[in-house]
Amino acid sequence: KGTLRSVVSALRRIVAAARNGVDDVFRELDATLRGLCEEIEAVTVWKAEPAGGHRCVFASGIRYERYRGCVLDGLEARKTLHPSDRTGVCIALGDQTVLYLALARPVELKPLFDCCEIVEPALAVAYDRAEDRIRATYDGLTGLLTPRAFRTALAQLIRAIERTRGVPRLALLFIDTDRFKEWNDRLGHAAGDALLRKLAEMLRAQVCGPDDLVARNGGDEFCLVWADCEKSTAIERAEALRSTIAAAFADEAIAITASIGVAAFPVDGSGAEDLLEAADARMYGAKRAGRNRISWE
C-alpha cells in the first residue's frame, strides 16, 4: 500500500507538472520510474522530427546525457545507444514521442508501462500548453514577436538597461509598409503574405546583438529594437534599411517602400509605451511627408 500511495503521489506530481511545461513532466517521470525500478540506468525521451528521425529532448544518466539534442534515424538501441547496458525498452508516449529506458538487467515491465500510460495525457496537455505559449509569443505568418510579447520584452529590456552601469541607450524603429493595400488588392492575399514574410526576413537581417527585438505590430506594420545603439547610429541604420527595402521591390509592378519612425531611449521616452508612441507618430509623419522616408523628430 505504501508503494501504491507513493506511485499515486508521483503521478499527481506529473499531472501538476504539465501546467509548468514539458521538461517538468519528463523530470517527474524520470523520478517516478526510478522509484519504481532501481535497475534503470538511464531515461531518455525522443520526439519525432518533421524531416525524419527522432530528437532527444530529455536524457538522464551520465552515459546518456550526451544524446540530448541529437537526432537519430530511428531508435535502434543496439546500434546507437550505450553498449554496456544489458537491455533496453521503448515505450510510446503518444504518436510523436518515444521513451527509451536503459536497464541493468531484464525487469518486470508492466508497472513501467502502466505508469507511462497514465503519463501520456499529462504530456499531451504539456505539449498543448507549450504550443499555446508559442502562438502567444510568435506571429504565425512571419515568426516575429507578437505585439503583446514585443511590448513585454521591450519593457523588460528597458528595465534591464536601467539597472546597468554606464549610459543607457536603445533605439526603436516603427516601420509601415507603403502601398501594401494596393499590392494585396491587385496581387491577392497569398502574394501579400509572401511580401510580409520577405519583409520579416529583411528585418531579421538587421539584428546586431542578442538582445535586439523584431516584431510584427499587426497588419503591415513592424517594430525593430537595437538594444545598444545611439540615436544617431539608429538613424543611419534606418536610412540604410529604407533604401534596402526600396531597392528590393523597385522592379515590381507595385514599388513597395517603407515609412520609418525612429525613437531612442531615454531621449525620446522614459518607458516602452512612450517610445512606441513617439516612433509611431514619427512613422505617420513620414507617410504624410510622401512615404519612403524616415523621421526622427
Active site amino acids = 220
Cα 218 from chain centre: 18
The answer to whether the beta carbons of residues 175 and 260 sit under 8 Å apart is yes
DSSP conformation letters of the chain = -HHHHHHHHHHHHHHHHTTT-HHHHHHHHHHHHHHH-TTEEEEEEEEE-TTSSEEEEEEESTTTGGGTT-EESS--HHHHS-TT-SEEEEEE-SSSEEEEEEESS----HHHHHHHHHHHHHHHHHHHHHHHHHHHHB-TTT-SBPHHHHHHHHHHHHHHHHHSSS---EEEEEEEEETHHHHHHHH-HHHHHHHHHHHHHHHHTT--STT-EEEEEETTEEEEEESS--HHHHHHHHHHHHHHHHHHTTTSSS--EEEEEEEEETTS-SSHHHHHHHHHHHHHHHHHTTSS-EE--
